[in-house]
Amino acid sequence: MPTKKSPRSLLRKTLNLLHLDVTRNLAYDRLTRSIMRKVIGRDTNCIDIGCHKGEMLDLILALAPDGTHYAFEPIPDMYDELLARYNGRTRVLPFALADFNGESEFQYIRNDPAYSGLKKRSYDIKDPDIEVIRVEVKRLDDIIEANHRVGFIKIDVEGGEFGVLKGSRELIIRDKPVIIFECGLGASDFYDTDPGALFRFFSEETGHQVSFLKSYVKGNGSLTEEAFVSVFRSNAEWYFVAHPA
C-alpha cells in the first residue's frame, strides 16, 4: 500500500541521497543505509526492532525481497499502520522487546513518537506529551525459531537496547547477524546500562566486534572495551554496529 510521504521524510531522503549530513542523525541514517546495502543480500532474513514509520523496513524489503522479515512496533497506532502497509510482506508484531516476557508500562511521546520507550528518559523536545500505555513485552529468543537464520538486525528502542540484546542472546550466538544499535547517555543510562557489560556481551559471549558506523563502512578497525566505554561516557557517538569477529 503506497503512503504519502511527509515533507520532513522527503527532505531527509533527498539529503541522504546527496550525502548532506546537516545533523548527526542524518549522518547516522545515511551510514546505516550504507551498511545495510553492504551486508543484506537478496535472501537475507532481517529484523527491525523499533520499526516506527517503516523507513528502514522499506530498504530491507528492497534489498532482500526473498528474505523473511520481522518488524516490531508496540505503539498501537503505528503498529496498525505498519500492519496495513506490510501485511503479507513482513511479519509485523506489536511487542516491545526486552530480556523478559510479560507486560510493562510504556512511555508514548505523542508529540514525538520516536522518543517512546519502556522507561522515561531525557527528551530533546520542549514539553513532551507523555501518555503511559501498557504493552506486551517479549524476548526475541522466544519468537524467532531456531531454523530461521537471521542476517541483520536494527535496534532503536530509545535506551533499552541492552535488554533487547540479552533477550536475543541465543539467536545472536547462533546466527552471528550484523546488528546496528543505539547506546548513549540521555537514554541508555535510564535503563542502568553498563557500557562495559554491553561490550563484553559481544566480545565474550556472542563473538562480535563493535565499531563506529563510519569505521565499518570504510573497513577500518573495531573498538576496544576501553574506547567504547569512553565514547559512551563522553556521548561522543551513540550509534554502533556489532559484527562477527
Which residues, other chains included, contact 141 with Cβ-Cβ below 8 Å and sequence gap of 6+? 167, 168, 169, 170, 171
179 assigned to some structural domain? yes
- What is the DSSP pairing of strand 130-138 with strand 102-109? antiparallel
13 assigned to some structural domain? no
- When divided into structural domains, the chain yields a total of 1
Measure the CA–CA gap between 196 and 233, rounded to whole angstroms. 11
Spatial CA neighbour of 166 closest among 186, 147, 138: 138
Mapped onto helix, strand or coil, the DSSP state of residue 189 is: helix
Tens-binned pLDDT, residue by residue, of the chain (245 aa): 334 444 444 444 444 444 444 478 899 999 999 999 999 999 999 999 999 999 999 999 999 999 999 999 999 999 999 999 998 899 999 999 999 999 999 999 999 999 999 999 988 888 999 999 999 999 999 999 999 999 999 999 999 999 999 999 999 999 999 999 999 999 999 999 999 999 999 999 999 999 999 999 999 999 999 999 999 999 999 999 999 98
Residue reference for cell 520499526: 51
- pLDDT given for residue 21 in this prediction: 44
Measure the CA–CA gap between 31 and 2, rounded to whole angstroms. 25
- What are the cell numbers at 13? 531522503
100 assigned to some structural domain? yes
Q: Are 58 and 85 in contact (CB under 8 A)?
A: no
53 assigned to some structural domain? yes
Q: Are 46 and 40 in contact (CB under 8 A)?
A: yes
Element (H, E) at 171: helix 169-175
Angle of CA points 26, 31, 36, to nearest 5°:
125
Measure the CA–CA gap between 86 and 6, rounded to whole angstroms. 19
Q: Are 182 and 155 in contact (CB under 8 A)?
A: yes
- What are the cell numbers at 60? 530491507
Angle of CA points 95, 96, 100, to nearest 5°:
105
14 assigned to some structural domain? no
91 assigned to some structural domain? yes
- pLDDT given for residue 25 in this prediction: 84
38 assigned to some structural domain? no
Q: Are 163 and 89 in contact (CB under 8 A)?
A: no
Threshold 0.85, pTM exceeds: yes
CATH code at position 179? 3.40.50.150
Element (H, E) at 83: helix 76-86
The residue range of the domain holding 114 is 43-244
Q: Are 176 and 244 in contact (CB under 8 A)?
A: yes
Element (H, E) at 46: strand 46-49
228 assigned to some structural domain? yes
